Chains A and B, each alone.
Chain A
Amino acid sequence: MAPILELRGITKRFPGILANDHIDLTLEHGEILALLGENGAGKTTLMNILYGLYQPDEGEIFVRGRKLVVQQPSDAIRAGIGMVHQHFMLVPVFTVAENVVLGQEKTRAAGFLNGKAAAEQVRALSQAHGLEVDPEAYVKDLAVGVQQRVEILKLLYRQADILILDEPTAVLTPQESEELFNVMRALVLKDKSIIFITHKLREVLEVADRITVLRRGAVVGTTTPPKASRAKLAEMMVGREVRLEVAKGKATPGQPVLEVRDLVVINDRRQVAVDGISLEVREGEVLGIAGVQGNGQTELVEVITGLRKPLSGTVRLVGKDVTGAAPRRITELGAAHVPEDRQRDGLVLPYSVADNLALQTYYRPPFARGVVLRQEEIQRSAEARIGEFDIRTPGAKTPAGSLSGGNQQKVIVAREFSRPIRLLVASQPTRGLDVGSIEYIHGRILEKRQEGCAVLLVSPELDEVLELSDRIAVMYRGRIVATVAAGRVTKQQVGLLMAGIVPEGLEEQREVRTVEVTL
């Protein structure tokens, strides 16, 4: 039997870039094919060609053995190809059912919408495929993971049997990802075939039947999970050996740099988000804050960096009281902040890379003389940083918004790390980045630790926290349930703590910490 989908020699050139270089790809009936590659490897371009958003310069597409010319998305949809984009295409104020039938609405006589029939149909569809969702709920009220199910339902409603999921887990929590994988497994049992685009190695090994790896627009190879390992896949993706486990020297903690005492913070909805937290970070150590997102980590970081005023409690930085101080004072005392949402807080996207690199220091010599900006200095320094931190950009004057996510993050890291700093607050420093960038940023963070900088690392990625931290504080509902030494704890134990459960063996350590805190 012919494969359900076959791409032969697909080539796409953009000015100056060979985005896809004679790519051959086959998708068998009823399998999950993972398309793995770093950002910019050509995965999305390839799928956009398949979906009719781009025209290939060369190459052919075959669906069920028959040649298919895809000039626009409707051609692809007619051939049974459906795509869930990284950014959802839903109408927030419509219900689930309305979103699913949008464009192919059921109507009664005289063109009136038949909302009830639509809801019924969507309910039947969702039950048939194990995609639990309430058809009458409004999309704006749904969690991201559920919205994604709506996107998948849209495809199923249009009778797609080749599903393309573009980086579907980038926006999901680990639990939601797990659910998505279950849905994917259920779908292939129901005769669907799935192309799963990602750069996360663990996921690929978990869910894929076959794995095709792209690098710089070309297929590097195809393998299967039993024959592959994370290290091997990473090497295929990046083209060299990648250190997935970071080699970390012994910690030599010195003086406390950051001291937080009895901090209580309320969030924008006037709920208590941080409920009496005390912690301490010393020179030359990494304190990791683990926890499911939304347990007060964001607010804690905001208070430490001066972006939010606490209700009570104190924050001391290098021995000085900075409770409720302005961000600039905290920065000038030697704090650096890699913010959780780089596009929202960390960068001014329309500004050039150079201006973004100067965002914390533009008002000081050498970048300013009095109030006059010295563009040449900003430019010169930016060019040095771009080289030093390997930021891939056409130039220092390119707008930051046109860089890839990894390079945007490098701009922030370059800016924050190249000042003399005493404290580094890194909030989800590798969110949405590919393996190569993660390796790089982890290395830089540990370098700072080695230099004697105190590091507060906040991340929902448990692996990241476990790898980098010397001590781990687990946050749950605004409190620290336990602080443990990184070497003496298993992933499972931290997982339990993240759910608010203190495993038995850890009671003792927790006591010790509590005593220390009340000193």
Chain B
Amino acid sequence: MTKAKAKPKPEKGKPRPLPEPDAGHALVQELMATPAEPPGAKRSWWRRAGRVALVPALAVLSGLILGGILIAVTSPEVHAALQVSVIDGIGTAFVVVFRAYAGLLAGAFGDPFRMVAALQSGDPLAIRRAFNPILESMVSATPYIFAGLSVALAFRGGLFNIGAEGQIFVGAITATYVGYALVGLPTIIHLPLALAAGALGGALWGFIPGWLKARTGAHEVINTIMMNYIAFRLSDWLLTGPMKAPGQFNPVSPTILESAWLPQFFEQPIRIHLGFFLALATAYAVYWFLFRTTWGFNLRTVGANPNAARYAGIKTGRWIILTMTLAGALAGLAGTTEVLGVNHNLAMAFSSGYGFDSIALALLGRSHPLGVVLASLLFGTLRSGATRMRIVSGVPIDIISVIQAMILAFMAAPAIIRTIYRLRQPAEAEEEVLVRGWGG
């Protein structure tokens, strides 16, 4: 009679398929080892941090060198000089590259002579203007930090969030809507509401692929990419329809009410706003969450070994969903701070690829919040310096994308960097020390 009971019943609680390790997973594994600190190494944590940062630093250097070669090779001036003689050509090449990078640096950090002059003059306006480039770099870095944290957090949970771009759009949409539609609220209420709306929008966009992954095993890479397309078209539709500013010819949303703006610290055109510091605080919060709480332990364990996580009683499905939701919220904040801090409205294609660059940032930052902040500052300065570089040297802005791409290629293939600079193979333990390099 037990036979009758043995009839298969609908398997509600059937163990869900665990993510199969794939090549990407192996990469995540490599990026995520917990720190190993050799005994007695406490004193020289900065040296170990230096070792961890060595490859990224050299990757940046190599990217800049190759970028310089590219600038020289594509410069019409150099071509003209080569007609005269090879020596002239080489000389001109150095001049051209120097000028371009000087422009880049000046655009990113400011002109030191102007800063000194402004400080001497004591004119507050002149001082602000002189320091504007570096402040502008921080503005550029802000969405990078949020989006980079999003991808890094997902990496730690063993997931590839390719959907940061879409989450940025949805976060921006919801934040914009709350920003212009809720009238008559004081800043103290309106701004947090708008920020929360942006985070929630992004969270929803992360939750969906997370839920699909946990319930059906559908791969998050595919689904986040598809969610991107949905987000793009959704924003196109909203901006040409329901969210289009009345009386506007262009597809833009109504201007966000000032009560929902992230406060800027100076008058226009200096745009540095509270979002940058919010980003830094968020980075610390993510760090604390990941490495100092049981929640972070759950998330990282599911990422590092889902089987062991299940064995240890962690509900892996729930954590996959939560990880993607949190990652989505972080990316949503990237879009939110852009619309609330800088643009003050939503326009089509406003993000210009922050979400895709953020994958690079997470890799460059080794999926650690501190690393992500540093990498974001780097990309922010490259981006904000590029305009000035074009003005002073005529080198197209696109060269920055090429340099970024090369930095990434070097990061993805550290063996190349090790060969070029004749570094020895790291002992297993060295690689990931940075994880504890902050606050601990």
Q: Which A residues have a C-beta under 8 Å from some C-beta of B?
A: 262, 264, 266, 276, 305, 307-309, 311-313, 324, 326-329, 331, 337, 339, 344-352, 355, 359-360, 362-363, 368, 371-373, 375, 394-395, 397-399, 401-402
Q: When the two chains form the complex, which single residue of A305, A308, A399 contacts B15, counting CB atoms closer than 8 Å?
A: A308
Q: List 8 A-B contacts (CB under 8 A).
A: A344-B307, A347-B305, A350-B33, A350-B432, A362-B297, A372-B292, A375-B292, A399-B429
Is B185 positioned at the interface, with any CB of A under 8 Å from its CB?
no
A309 touches B313 (CB 8 A): no
A329 to B314, CA, bound (A): 11
Task: Report A-chain residues with C-beta under 8 Å of the C-beta of B186.
Answer: none
CB distance from A424 to the nearest CB of B (A): 15
A395 touches B312 (CB 8 A): no
Q: When the two chains form the complex, which single residue of A328, A352, A360, A399 contacts B428, counting CB atoms closer than 8 Å?
A: A399
A401 to B38, CA, bound (A): 15
B311 touches A307 (CB 8 A): yes
Of the listed stretches B2-10, B82-90, B373-381, chain A binds: B2-10
Q: Given A368-B294, A373-B297, does the pair A352, B34 have CB atoms closer than 8 Å?
A: yes
Task: Report B-chain residues with C-beta under 8 Å of the C-beta of A264.
Answer: 6
CB distance from A359 to the nearest CB of B (A): 5
15 extra A-B contacts, CB within 8 A, seeds A266-B8, A399-B428: A264-B6, A327-B311, A328-B312, A329-B313, A348-B301, A348-B304, A351-B34, A352-B35, A355-B34, A371-B293, A372-B293, A397-B37, A397-B39, A399-B34, A399-B429
Q: Which A-chain residue is minimally distant from B13 (CB atoms)? A: A309
Instruction: List 7 tightest A-B contacts by C-beta distance, closest first.
Output: A328-B313, A350-B33, A327-B313, A363-B294, A395-B39, A397-B37, A348-B305
Q: When the two chains form the complex, which single residue of B14, B39, B297, B305 contacts A394, counting CB atoms closer than 8 Å?
A: B39
B312 touches A352 (CB 8 A): no
Q: Which of B294-330 contact A (CB under 8 A)?
A: 294-297, 301, 304-305, 307-315
B34 touches A350 (CB 8 A): yes
Is B440 positioned at the interface, with any CB of A under 8 Å from its CB?
yes
Task: Report B-chain residues with C-beta under 8 Å of the C-beta of A345.
Answer: 307-308, 310-311
Task: Report A-chain residues with C-beta under 8 Å of the C-beta of B315.
Answer: 326
Task: Report B-chain residues with C-beta under 8 Å of the C-beta of A305.
Answer: 311
Task: Report B-chain residues with C-beta under 8 Å of the C-beta of A399.
Answer: 33-34, 36, 428-429
Task: Report A-chain residues with C-beta under 8 Å of the C-beta of B428.
Answer: 399, 401-402
A360 touches B313 (CB 8 A): yes
Q: Which B-chain residue is minimally distant from A368 (CB atoms)? A: B294
A472 to B327, CA, bound (A): 51
Task: Report B-chain residues with C-beta under 8 Å of the C-beta of A402.
Answer: 36, 428-429
CB distance from A66 to the nearest CB of B (A): 34
Q: Which A-chain residue is minimally distant from B17 (CB atoms)? A: A268
Is B240 positioned at the interface, with any CB of A under 8 Å from its CB?
no
Q: Which of B127-141 contact A (CB under 8 A)?
A: none
Q: When the two chains form the complex, which single residue of B11, B14, B294, B310 contacts A371, counting CB atoms closer than 8 Å?
A: B294
Most chain A CB within 10 A, of B291, B293, B311, B440, is at B311
CB distance from A222 to the nearest CB of B (A): 35
Is B255 positioned at the interface, with any CB of A under 8 Å from its CB?
no
Number of residue pairs A-B, CB distance < 8 angstroms: 116
Is B194 positioned at the interface, with any CB of A under 8 Å from its CB?
no
Task: Report B-chain residues with C-beta under 8 Å of the C-beta of A331.
Answer: 313
B36 touches A324 (CB 8 A): no
CB distance from B44 to the nearest CB of A (A): 15
A397 touches B308 (CB 8 A): no
Is B252 positioned at the interface, with any CB of A under 8 Å from its CB?
no
Is B387 positioned at the interface, with any CB of A under 8 Å from its CB?
no
B37 touches A395 (CB 8 A): yes
Task: Report B-chain residues with C-beta under 8 Å of the C-beta of A266.
Answer: 8
Is B401 positioned at the interface, with any CB of A under 8 Å from its CB?
no
Q: Which B-chain residue is minimally distant from A358 (CB atoms)? A: B297
Is B199 positioned at the interface, with any CB of A under 8 Å from its CB?
no
A360 touches B312 (CB 8 A): yes
A397 touches B294 (CB 8 A): no
Q: Which of B232-261 contact A (CB under 8 A)?
A: none
B6 touches A359 (CB 8 A): no
Task: Report B-chain residues with C-beta under 8 Å of the C-beta of A375.
Answer: 292, 440
Task: Report A-chain residues with C-beta under 8 Å of the C-beta of B311.
Answer: 305, 307, 327, 337, 339, 345-346, 359
Is B272 positioned at the interface, with any CB of A under 8 Å from its CB?
no
A455 to B311, CA, bound (A): 19
Q: Given A331-B313, A373-B294, does the pair A307, B15 have CB atoms closer than 8 Å?
A: yes
Is B29 positioned at the interface, with any CB of A under 8 Å from its CB?
yes
CB distance from A518 to the nearest CB of B (A): 11
Task: Report A-chain residues with C-beta under 8 Å of the C-beta of B295.
Answer: 371
A331 to B9, CA, bound (A): 27
Task: Report B-chain residues with C-beta under 8 Å of the C-beta of A371.
Answer: 293-295
Q: Given A359-B312, A372-B293, does the pair A309, B11 have CB atoms closer than 8 Å?
A: yes
Q: When the two chains form the complex, which single residue of A308, A329, A346, A395 contacts B38, counting CB atoms closer than 8 Å?
A: A395
Task: Report A-chain residues with C-beta under 8 Å of the C-beta of B310.
Answer: 307, 327, 345
A345 to B37, CA, bound (A): 24
